[in-house]
Amino acid sequence: MLDKTLTQLAAGLARGDFSSVELTQAYLDRIRQHNADLNAYITVTDDIALAQAATADEQRAAGNAGPLTGLPIAHKDIFCTQGVRTSCGSRMLDNFIAPYESTVTARLAGAGAVMLGKTNLDEFAMGSSTESSYYGPTRNPWNRDTVPGGSSGGSATAVAARLAAAATGTDTGGSIRQPAAFTGITGLKPTYGRVSRWGMIAYGSSLDCGGPMTQTAEDAALMLNAIAGFDPKDSTSMDRPADDYQARLNEPLAGLRIGLPKEYFGDGLNDGIRAAVMAAVSELEKLGATVKEISLPRTELSIPAYYIIAPAEASTNLSRYDGVRYGYRCKDPVDLEDLYKRTRAEGFGAEVQRRILVGTYALSAGYYDAYYKKAQQLRRLIRDDFQTGFQEVDVILAPTTPSPAWTLGEKSNDPVAMYLEDIYTLSTNLAGLPALALPCGQVGGLPVGLQLIGNYFEESHLLNIGHQYQQATDWHLQAPVL
Amino acid sequence: MEWETVIGLEIHVQLSTRSKIFSGSSTQYGAEPNTQASLVDLAMPGALPVFNENALRKAVAFGLAIDAHIGKRSVFDRKNYFYPDLPKGYQITQMDDPIVGLGEVEIVLDDGSTRTIGVTRAHLEEDAGKSLHEDFEGMTGIDLNRAGTPLLEIVSEPDMRSAKEAVAYLKKIHSIVTYIGISDGNMAEGSLRCDANVSVRPKGQTEFGTRTEIKNINSFKFVEKAINVEVQRHIDVIEDGGTVTQETRLYDADKNETRSMRSKEFANDYRYFPEPDLLPVEIDDAYIQDVKDRLPELPDAKIQRFKADYGLSDYDATVLAASRAMADYFEAVVDVTKDAKLAANWCMGELAGQLNRYEQDIADSPVSAADLGLLIQRIQDNTVSNKIAKTVFEAMFRGEGSADEIIEAQGLKQVSDSGAIEAMIDEVIANNPGQVADYRSGKDKLFGFFVGQVMKASKGQANPAQVNDILKSKLQG
């Protein structure tokens, strides 16, 4: 039962092959069996899950089932869930019971989904390995000595290890796509503004994007249908109707123009990944696509631009964690300054403090023009590069990461080395474009992936291409043996 | 040495929107602490601001009222600093692209001369909460009801040269914002607060001296006193051979002195940058025109109209038009009486006097404009004299009834029966033979004495004009 995709499970529930309570219980059992080892979940919400599952079964019996009714999913612990601890992987929020529900989780619950629990992440989503979590690292189920990627590593491991039928993630610089690649699952980063950020704890506000992490593109479409759309509570959410993301899944790919950006296939790319991506390109050509090389010349500059803008925004987004109203407060502060300093020094981990310092520096008087302003200029150039590219091709195809999952601890003491691993994912966030990450092979027993980058609001098309590719291949069906 | 004072004001005006600038919480003053603080106001993780369009409308109205440039694309920025009553650790404000650009207002000084004061800019921002240090031993209470209340910060050019000019400018801004209804202007409740930037320089020098900023002055009276005391402090420091330190100071009204709050040297680096949670605010000509079409008549236009339509003096027109409430009241009285001069005298005299005596706002006046109009009509139709009318008005103010009811109940109706008046006069003449003789021998001044005696005999109710006429002819005998 747990080997099935979200779409298949939906069909099984509809047919009455099993109930939501049975399905949910099976996941909870599997979580109990494997979570201690994998550390995918920070919090497992058994009681809520079973209650929601029972309600879902009642709704189905009453003929009121929606597309996600009774399907057990997991939420990255960055989404506020009312009455449930929402930690963001930080000691700072270890005691924080969210008093309200995020739009993403509310919409999924409204569509009938069952919440299994809250998944692990890099502290405040700052990281590419899920090692910086206050709750310890999440393991990659394909090889427990390796990282699952990050920051949505808990959700990635949960889906890959079949500890959830699907999960939510967030992507600020690749945090959905890179862990999807490292764990062999499908992950969609939607267009900025397509999914509401209300209740999604902010890291880099102008970059943060919630999205689905699933086994297949088809599953991602199902989930995106529930969460996409305008939200008046988020001023940056786009006031235009969402598509039916399942509608185009089965369109043929004949005539599809794919661009391969040469900057994504340079020296830094692992040979195995290059071969896997090129094999996928051949598959797509067989399905009717034409392929040409394009150039995104400012790709390298995405690293400095991102590592200025994201920390700059983070440095002020995280100012609210001051020990005054909620969250961690240091013991016996002697005065206000002591309260601030010790609360934040004790409540935040090293990577978060590093990024707050970098961001504070970048925004400081005298440095603003040299750093933040210049980074914003780069951002515009990167966006322009993509628009030039999209005049020639419909979608851009590239590896998701330059290398497969690394060993736990390998890059922990070298933050810059870890930042460089984000080279293929940062540009899309800076440009605000949608990108779909798909598994496309294995290197040394570890999954590797490609990403399809589309123009704004082209999610339907990306999912169509992903689905057609997955109809012709089976990388997405590979699961680790636990 | 002769010193010249240079003053610029930053005025924070709370806009009278029902809900906050970035959340749906109520802005009502005086609620129980933290009962008007939503997820956004509490800066909960994941909460996001949504801009209240009403605040925009009010800011644009102000810009139009001072003939300022309106920013068609204005941008919100974050101003970062830590303080317990600033829940997000930053204030959302506007830095490089404010909603209102360069404008100006004209002020009238006591001697009747006018000056133009430049307004550099006015921008939208959110108010902070309040830190309550009393009632909590060794602790501080935080009330976030005020956090997120919309403010329009109006920044003047350093164009004022005396405390009196600063007060005149502040009053002018107060008058404009209350006229156009964007703020209740209640200074006691903090709806209008003022920071004064003050410096002095030798007369004739063009460079400015070092300035200090006096924070959060909340009454017209204190603005004048605080500036004067600070100016004197600057002069004393310089004349003693010292230098003024650029710093923020607080005015202590009890001691009538300012004292240092913090020096600019240790000031925060606010790390302004564009607020990524909000899109730039874009408005078009049609929007601006719509706000313009809904603007009420402004004080200056009203003064001109009062002079032209009612023949009021400069002074009367200015006093009556100073507040929209008074101007509206006055015009309602004119509506009833058709006599603008009489209406003006009553509004500025008895009405203002009684309001002042009972410390009441004109909006809460127990005597409506229509009621005052009816009383004035009783003067016009000779039912009561002007003097008796004042007594009646006081009774009306105390809530004793309408003009007619009080006149009737207290028997204050004017005596205009010439027979009755003659009889009273005859009696007065008969009782004062000595004064009559003196008068007739040339002591004209005694005429007043006889009028007084007759009015006294009539308990003030005799028609004064008739008393004059009859008395004159009888005395001439």
pLDDT at A418 over 90: no
Q: What is the mean pLDDT of residues B115-131?
A: 97
Whether residue B23 contacts residue B146, with contact meaning beta carbons closer than 8 Å, is answered with no
| pLDDT band with cut points at 50, 70 and 90 for residue B137 | confident
CATH number, residue A103 = 3.90.1300.10
pLDDT at B264 over 60: no
N-term to C-term CA, chain A: 16
Query: Please, which residues have CB within 8 angstroms of residue A414's CB and are 6 or more apart in sequence?
Result: none
Q: What is the mean pLDDT of residues B69-97?
A: 97
The pLDDT value recorded for residue B378 is 92
Report chain B residues whose CB lies below 8 A from the CB of A93. Answer: 45
Whether B102 contacts chain A with CB within 8 A = no
Q: Does residue A95 sit within a domain? A: yes
Whether B437 contacts chain A with CB within 8 A = no
Whether residue B42 contacts residue B144, with contact meaning beta carbons closer than 8 Å, is answered with yes
* CB-based contact A324 B87, cutoff 8 Å: yes
Whether residue A77 contacts residue A135, with contact meaning beta carbons closer than 8 Å, is answered with no
Whether residue A96 contacts residue A87, with contact meaning beta carbons closer than 8 Å, is answered with yes
Report chain A residues whose CB lies below 8 A from the CB of B46. Answer: 79-80, 86, 98, 102, 197-202
Whether B95 contacts chain A with CB within 8 A = no
Whether residue B391 contacts residue B377, with contact meaning beta carbons closer than 8 Å, is answered with no
Q: What is the mean pLDDT of residues A196-214?
A: 98
The pLDDT value recorded for residue B477 is 64
- Percent of chain A past pLDDT 90, that is, above it, reads 96
The pLDDT value recorded for residue B263 is 57
Q: What is the mean pLDDT of residues B85-90?
A: 97
- Percent of chain A past pLDDT 70, that is, above it, reads 100
Report chain B residues whose CB lies below 8 A from the CB of A192. Answer: none
Q: Which residue has the tokens 């100012």?
A: A319
Residue in chain B nearest A314 by alpha carbon: B276
The tens digit of pLDDT for each residue in B375-428 reads 999 999 888 888 889 999 999 999 999 999 998 888 888 777 788 888 888 888
For chain A, what is the domain count? Answer: 1
How far is B41 from B148, CA to CA, in rounded Å? 6
CA distances from B182 to B61, B62, B296, B468 (A): 8, 8, 11, 54
Report chain A residues whose CB lies below 8 A from the CB of B142. Answer: 324-325
* CB-based contact A365 B269, cutoff 8 Å: yes
Whether residue A90 contacts residue A54, with contact meaning beta carbons closer than 8 Å, is answered with no
Q: What is the mean pLDDT of residues A411-431?
A: 91
Mean pLDDT, chain A, whole residue set: 97
Q: What is the largest CA-CA distance in chain B?
A: 98
The alpha carbon torsion through A360, A361, A363, A367 (nearest 10 deg) reads 170
pLDDT at B226 over 70: yes
User: Which residue of B22, B34, B48 to mutate against A (max A Cβ within 10 Å)?
Assistant: B48
Sign of the Cα pseudo-torsion (A320, A324, A327, A328, in order): positive
Helices (H), A199-322: 217-227, 271-286, 302-317
Q: Please calculate the CA angle A404-A408-A412 and round it to the nearest 5 degrees.
A: 100
Report chain B residues whose CB lies below 8 A from the CB of A325. Answer: 42-43, 87, 142
Q: Which residue has the tokens 């009816």?
A: B374
The tens digit of pLDDT for each residue in B21-48 reads 999 999 999 899 999 999 999 999 999 9
Residue boundaries of the structural domains of chain B = 3-289, 297-409, 418-476
Q: Which two tokens stand for residue A239?
A: 């006031």
Nearest CA-CA distance, residue A206 and chain B, Å: 6
Count CB pairs under 8 A between chains A and B. 95
The tens digit of pLDDT for each residue in A372-393 reads 999 999 999 999 999 999 999 9
The pLDDT value recorded for residue B446 is 87
Whether B46 contacts chain A with CB within 8 A = yes
Nearest CA-CA distance, residue A379 and chain B, Å: 14
The pLDDT value recorded for residue B412 is 82
| pLDDT band with cut points at 50, 70 and 90 for residue B267 | low
How far is A303 from B351, CA to CA, in rounded Å? 72
The pLDDT value recorded for residue B135 is 78
Nearest Cβ partner of B48 from A235, A326, A363? A235
Report chain A residues whose CB lies below 8 A from the CB of B282. Answer: none
Q: What is the mean pLDDT of residues B221-229?
A: 96
Give me the helix-helix angle, A46-61 and A20-38, nearest 10°: 160
Q: Which two tokens stand for residue B122?
A: 């006015």
Q: What is the mean pLDDT of residues A108-119?
A: 98
The pLDDT value recorded for residue B266 is 55
Mean pLDDT, chain B, whole residue set: 93
Q: Does residue A391 sit within a domain? A: no
Whether B80 contacts chain A with CB within 8 A = yes
The tens digit of pLDDT for each residue in B164-206 reads 999 999 999 999 999 999 999 999 899 999 999 999 999 999 9
Nearest Cβ partner of B46 from A199, A322, A325? A199
Q: Which two tokens stand for residue B238?
A: 């310089």
Mapped onto helix, strand or coil, the DSSP state of residue B182 is: coil
Please state which of the four CATH numbers 3.40.190.10, 2.60.40.10, 1.10.10.410, 3.40.50.620 is assigned to the domain occupying B418-476.
Answer: 1.10.10.410
**Pairing mode, strands A166-170 and A72-76:** parallel
* CB-based contact A235 B50, cutoff 8 Å: yes
Q: What is the mean pLDDT of residues A425-451?
A: 98
Q: What is the largest CA-CA distance in chain A?
A: 70
Nearest Cβ partner of B46 from A80, A324, A368? A80
Domain that holds residue A37: 6-256+455-477
Whether B262 contacts chain A with CB within 8 A = no
Q: How many CA atoms lie within 13 A of B388 on its CB side?
A: 28
How far is B165 from A282, CA to CA, in rounded Å? 80
Q: Does residue A426 sit within a domain? A: no
Mapped onto helix, strand or coil, the DSSP state of residue B181 is: coil
User: Which residue of B273, B278, B279 to mutate against A (max A Cβ within 10 Å)?
Assistant: B273
Q: Does residue A266 sit within a domain? A: no
Nearest CA-CA distance, residue B103 and chain A, Å: 29
* CB-based contact B82 A197, cutoff 8 Å: no
Q: Does residue A380 sit within a domain? A: no
* CB-based contact B44 A100, cutoff 8 Å: yes
Q: What is the mean pLDDT of residues A410-420?
A: 85
| pLDDT band with cut points at 50, 70 and 90 for residue A249 | very high
Q: Does residue A291 sit within a domain? A: no
The lowest-confidence range among A7-11, A140-144, A338-342, B386-390 is: B386-390
pLDDT at B265 over 70: no
pLDDT at B262 over 70: no
Whether B47 contacts chain A with CB within 8 A = yes
Residues of A acting as catalytic residues: 76, 151, 175
Report chain B residues whose CB lies below 8 A from the CB of A231. Answer: none
| pLDDT band with cut points at 50, 70 and 90 for residue A181 | very high
The tens digit of pLDDT for each residue in B421-468 reads 888 888 888 898 888 888 888 888 888 898 888 888 888 888 888 888
CA distances from A474 to A1, A395, A441, B46, B416 (A): 18, 22, 9, 38, 114
DSSP for A165-229, written as a single string? SEEEEE-SSSTTHHHHHHHT-EEEEPPTTSB--TTBPPSSTTT--EEEEESSHHHHHHHHHHHBS
* CB-based contact B84 A360, cutoff 8 Å: no
The pLDDT value recorded for residue B456 is 87
How far is B425 from B451, CA to CA, in rounded Å? 9
pLDDT at A358 over 90: yes
